[in-house]
Structure formats: C-alpha cells, structure tokens
Amino acid sequence: MMRKLGGTFQFLIVFAALTVLTQLYQNCGQVGLLSSNEFASLSMGDAGMNDQNHPAQSKVSSGQRVLAMNKTYVAELVREVFTSANYPVPALDALINQWILYRGAQYGVGCNPYDTYSTRDCGGGMSGANLPYHVDDNTVRESFRIQFCEHALGTDNGVNAVLEKVSNRSVAPTAAAIAQIYLFFYRGDEAPSDVIASLLDMDVTLAKNNESVINRWRAVILQICESPGWQLQ
C-alpha cells in the first residue's frame, strides 16, 4: 500500500523542491539531440551508470528543437532503478505500464497491434501504431512521469530498492550518496555541486523538523526522479 505522507512533510518537500528543481532545470540548459544508439545497454556498474550507456548528444544551438527520450528508454531506466529482489516495489510493472508504456502519444513510440502484450496499449485499434518515434517534451508527459515517481517512492520498498544500489551508504543522506543516486537517472553526468548542495540543504531542513531518515531519503530520491533533465539527454 502506498504510504500516506504527513502534511508537514509534504509541505516541506514542495517548499524545498522549488530550490532543488530550479538548480536541476538550470543544469539542463545544454541538452543534446538523441542519437540512434540511445537504447544501448542500461547496466549499472559498482560506481553507478557507465558513461558508455549515456545517449550520445550534440550541442544545441539557439532555436534548435530538443527531443525527449521516448517511452522505451524511460521505462527501461526506471525499471532498472526500482527493481529489487530484496525490496520489491508493489505493482512496479503495472506502474510502468500505466504511467509510461501505455502513454505513447505523450512519450513517443507507437504500439504493435499484432503483439498480444501491446493490444491494451493500442486499445483495439490501429491509431496508436502510427505514433512518432520521438515527441517534444510536454506537460501531460511530465505529469505522468511525476505520478510514476510518487507512486514508486510512496512505499518504503521503493526507497530501499534505490538505496540498496548505493555503495558505502551511511545512515543519512550524504553528498557521496546523492551523487550516486543522481547517476542512476542522469547516466554519465556527474551531479553539479549546486544540485548536491540544494539537496543537502533540503535534508537539513527535514532533519530539523524531525522527519524520519527513510522520509529524508525519500525526499532526495523523489527530487531527482521528478527532475526533467535525465530524460532529455
């Protein structure tokens, strides 16, 4: 069952997120266009994501359109981040289907009407099979992605599924641990110092308000998961 977060915790998260997300947006300024090898292996190394798995990109000139990664990439990334034998996230596959894979119109990539698995996505018709491979980022897509993050991290198992992949983790959030979690989503891109500082400041605020350690970790991971840049690189 999804954890019901207290009102004070939710208020603090929203307040702190304004600063954190501002930093994350600012660091998304130089975004590249997607290449054909964006669906390379997404395997995790001991130190996080391998740089070779990061989609190749080129510099974006003024007025050049930025494309978002399509549903296949987003789904595989979050599946790997949140999959755990020790801490299974309740209905993880259903969450990925509901908020990502069945939203081809918002994420890009059409369904295969001849694939039994995809018939639900196609809705029994052919229109969903003709969707573009990539689409522009859009507010509806972002709302779906945020819903996924909030549902996946709404349980303690969701938080622990991520934390078990962090090496040499201390009890409470640290700069080193945050840097590793950042790499789980922003593959090949090291966390900017201002982003880490903002997340640590948020954690200090939560600690002063006597939030539990699991909720403090939840807040950190949630801010990174909900930030937009990792699906635009």
pLDDT of residue 199: 97
Which one is predicted more confidently, 34 or 15?
A: 15
In a domain, 196, yes or no: yes
What's the rounded mean pLDDT across residues 201-228? 96
pLDDT score recorded for residue 103: 82
Q: Which residue has tokens 């593959």? A: 187
pLDDT of residue 48: 40
User: pTM (2 decimals)?
Assistant: 0.74
Full DSSP string of 36-61: TTTT----EETTEE-GGGSPP--PPP
Domain limits for position 179: 7-231
Two structure tokens written together for 133: 């491979």
Res 68: pLDDT: 81
Q: Which residue has the higher pLDDT, 212 or 36?
A: 212
Range 104-111 average pLDDT:
70
Query: In whole numbers, what is the pLDDT of the chain averaged over residues?
Result: 76
Residue 1 lies in a domain: no
How many domains, the chain? 1
Q: What is the pLDDT of residue 71?
A: 86
Determine which of 69-73, 82-86, 120-124 has the lowest per-residue pLDDT on average: 120-124
What pLDDT, in 10s, does the model give residues 143-168? 999 999 999 999 999 999 999 999 99
With respect to residue 112, please indicate whether it lies within any of the assigned structural domains: yes
What residues contact 229, with CB distance under 8 A and at least 6 apart?
A: 24, 25, 27, 28, 31, 186
Query: Residue 201 domain-assigned?
Result: yes
Check: CB of residue 175 under 8 Å from CB of residue 40. Answer: no
> Cβ neighbours of residue 43 under 8 Å, at least 6 residues apart?
50, 53, 80
The yes-or-no verdict on residue 207 having pLDDT over 80 is yes
- pLDDT higher than 60, residue 32: no
Burial class of residue 42 in the structure, from the number of CB atoms within 10 Å of its CB (0-12 exposed, 13-18 middle, 19+ buried): middle
Nearest residue to 44 via CA among 173, 153, 180, 170: 180
Higher pLDDT among residues 42 and 80, named by residue: 80
pLDDT for 55 beyond 90: no
233 near 55, Cβ under 8 Å? yes
